[in-house]
Structure 1
Amino acid sequence: MPPPSVPLRTLGFLTIGSFDEADPRAGHETTLRVIELGERLGFDGAWLRHRHLQHGISSPVAVMAAASQRTTRIELGTAVTPLGWENPLRLAEDLATVDVLSGGRVNPGVSVGPPMRFDEVRASLYPDTADVEDFTYARVQRLVALLRGEPASTFRGTVGIEEFSDRVQPHSPGLADRVWYGAASAGSARWAGEQGLSLLTSSVLKAAGPDDTTDFATQQQAQIRAFREVHPAGADARVSQGLVVIPTDTATPEQRARYAAYVDARTPRTARPQGPAHLLFAPDVLGTSEQIAEALWSHAGFREVSEVVFALPFGFEHADYVQILTDTATRLGPALGWSPRG
């Protein structure tokens, strides 16, 4: 095994929170149980995907609020909230409220751009303003400014018996410093660095160009380095890598077979850039904890980070997630130099 560069400091996991349309409560309850398990196992963070008009978590802020009342230590994040669907002022109020309720454990991860399938949803989402909505980085800047306590109103004072603030309430000190940006390209990573944000880099990125290498790990490494080159904190700027990682140490033969079939079905898309955006997909990492650790220490992107948010695969059973999380916390994490939180 290659010698580790930096021992893993922070271990998190990401879930999509799938549910059955006919019984959505059961799926949301399962997601909360997974987060509770993560805390018991010593994970540093539980992160939620954001899915609109799908059978996944549409309101991660609400789920984080519920999880905050069933946990005491584990950090709670979104990876990521697409701001094209959000009003930054209202989102700032919700995030600050949950951060206060959780004791300062919220890590908002965000991205920009038009909402997915915007042509089909624009009449419901922005019936009067769709053509003039700003889906640029300015939306992130508005959110961060509001979280920092910059003015949201030109009025502060008392009217009758009601008192009005000119900034988002509640104000949660430190929340703005925990905003992460989900970057798919080197350009967006550099922008996040210039803003002083933290960087979420996942298992999908945009190839820099048709003539550049299609090796995912090499391009992810370049993205991370571009981010840190311009970040005020330099090499200390926080970056978290997210790959689909499936340890099989205590899996049953039936589970191993299903996991292998899942990975095999997804592997062809990793051979070349996909679609007009030239998206590169990282191969899923499947095997024993020892095999996965060896693969990660050899991964150019992983060797740049000391924080990870391993993504749980889609569509598995609760028992599968229990096995994967348990093996990750008790076997893979220690193999990467990580120690669980007490």
Structure 2
Amino acid sequence: MALRRLGFLTIGLFDPAAPAAGHETTLGIIELGERLGFDSAWVRHRHLQFGISSPVAVLAAATQRTSRIELGTAVIPLGWENPLRLAEDLATVDVLSGGRLNPGVSVGPPMHWDDVRAALYPDTADAEDFTYERVERLLRFVEGSPATTFRGPEGIVEEWSDRVEPHSAGLRERLWYGGASLRSAQWAGEHRMNFLTSSVLKPEDGRTDFPEVQAEQIDAFRDRHPEGRVSQGLVVIPTDSATADQAERYRAYAAARLPRTRTLQGPGMLFSPDLVGTSAELAEQLSAHAGFRRVDEVAFALPFSFRPEDYEQILTDLAEHLGPALGWTPATD
């Protein structure tokens, strides 16, 4: 299957002593992606870290500096969010973008829950629902279901709506669920969301064959939602135009992370090896990857801690070498 859509994912790291520069770099990377013909740019979500804590705000800025590229979140952990308020923010950014927003979300308790619960939910921590129902609430608000029992005029100038405003038609069809388990893939399909699968999975039976586990999850999603989109997000680093120093650092980065891929980590999590090499080598590896063979859309993840010039080289090689080797054609304005 030829690759139809090529995207990339960035964490947006910044120096805590000078955070503006890091955010500006992230916006510049998104602008570069559009110039290179990428179909989508995605940002990670990192609370209480030195990465993007407010991807919706960052993407609001990106809407004003791009005109074509789709903008996504991979992913917003809903345990930190009020679904009604998030629906308002997403709809606003989607309107600003002209219908280019692709929000990806996930559920579960916030990371380090015991450490943050008193600050995040001081009065309601024990009552908060971190199940799929939280996503269902977001879906209802985005699609225009009532959010209040009151609507109509009040006073001389105020007019109240009973749904989230602005309402952005089409946004519901561009919502994604970021899942790592077979159950998540099935649930996303049953609820007619799109499906984000990444370099981290949670096998049901302790298997460690990453491509086969990923392929099984994609098949389960498509069985329930044949028209739904699936995007794969592996760490893929081409070296075609890399300097010798860059290529050496890239291989060292991948080698340092390789041991975690050999056995299940933590609560049964399975990690994919990072792929580093020339575009010809990478195309051969991906073509043999059972998960990749199930998709025609990817959002390759940029490594966390690289330099801006590294990201520029990687994105350029993805667009000019690896993408075409996989059958992809750059988008044009």
TM-score higher than 0.5: yes
For the 8 Å contact 1:80–1:182, the answer to whether it is kept is: yes
Choose which of 99, 102, 105 in structure 2 pairs with 1:104: 99
Report the equivalent of 1:163.
159
Counterpart for residue 262 of structure 2: 271
Measure the CA separation in 2 of the matches of 1:122 and 1:166.
31
- Structure 1 vs Structure 2 CA RMSD: 0.6
Secondary structure of the residue that 1:254 maps to in structure 2?
helix
* Residue number in structure 2 paired with 1:218: 212
Equivalent position amino acid for 1:124 in 2: A
State the partner residue of 1:329: 319
Alignment partner for residue 306 of structure 1, among 291, 296, 300?
Answer: 296
Amino acid at match of 2:52: I
Alpha-carbon distance in structure 1 between the residues aligned to 2:59 and 2:186: 29
Structure-1 residue corresponding to 2:77? 82
1:156-185 per-residue CA deviation (whole Å, 9 max, x = no partner) reads 111102110000010000001100000110
- Pairwise CA distance, 1:229: 1.2
Secondary structure at 2:137 match in 1: helix
Q: Which residue of 2 aligns with 1:153?
A: 148
Letter in 1 for 2:268: H
Decide which of 131, 136, 154 is 2:126's aligned counterpart. 131
Aligned partners of 1:108 and 1:149: how far apart in 2? 16
Residue 209 of structure 1: how far off its partner (Å): 1.6
Query: How many Å separate the matches in 2 of 1:137 and 1:127?
Result: 22
State the Cα distance separating 1:207 from its structure 2 match: 1.7
Q: Percent identity?
A: 69
Identify unmatched segments of 5+ residues in structure 1. 1-5
- Tell me if 1:203 matches 2:199: yes
Letter matched to residue 243 of structure 1: L
Aligned residue among 14, 31, 44 for 1:19: 14
1:57, 1:297 → 2: CA distance?
Answer: 32
For residue 191 of structure 1, what is the aligned residue in structure 2? Answer: 187
**Cα drift, residue 237 of structure 1:** 2.2
Aligned to 1:319, which of 292, 309, 320? 309
Mapped pair 1:285 → 2:285: no
Contact kept? 1:207, 1:273, Cα under 8 Å: no
Letter of the 2:256 partner, please give it. Answer: A
Whole-angstrom CA distance in 2 between matches of 1:24 and 1:237: 37
Please list the CA deviations of residues 238-273 of structure 1 after superposition, one character each: whole Å capped at 9, or x if unmatched.
100000000000000000110011000000000011
Q: Secondary structure at the match of 2:9?
A: strand
Match of 1:340 in 2: 330
**Secondary structure in structure 2 of the residue aligned to 1:79:** strand
1:134 Cα shift?
A: 0.4
Q: After the TM superposition, which parts of structure 1 deviate over 6 Å for at least 4 consecutive aligned residues? A: none
Q: SS at 2:231's partner residue?
A: strand
| Aligned residue type for 1:282 | S
Is the contact between residue 20 and residue 55 of structure 1 (CA under 8 Å) also seen in structure 2? yes
Determine helix, strand or coil for the equivalent of 1:278. Answer: coil
SS in structure 2 of the partner of residue 80 of structure 1? strand
SS at match of 1:131: helix
TM normalised by structure 2 equals 0.99
Rounded to whole Å, the distance in 2 between the matches of 1:117 and 1:164 is: 39
Report SS of the residue matched to 1:62.
helix
The answer to whether the Cα contact below 8 Å between 1:64 and 1:76 also exists between their aligned partners in 2 is yes
Helix, strand or coil at the partner of 2:331: coil
1:3 maps to which residue?
none
1:241 to 2:236 alignment: no
- Aligned amino acid, residue 258 of structure 1: R
Secondary structure in 1 matching 2:304: coil
Residue 90 (structure 1) shift: 0.3
Contact 1:183 1:199 in 2 (8 A): yes
1:227 paired with 2:221, answer yes
Give the distance between the partners of 1:102 and 1:56, measured in 2 at CA: 23
2:247 partner letter: R
* Partner of residue 252, structure 2: 261
- Name the SS of the counterpart of 2:59 in structure 1: helix
| Structure 2: distance between partners of 1:141 and 1:177 | 14
Question: Is 1:52 matched up with 2:43?
Answer: no
Q: CA deviation at 1:208?
A: 1.4
Corresponding position of 1:66: 61
Q: 1:10 & 1:270 partners in 2: Cα distance?
A: 27
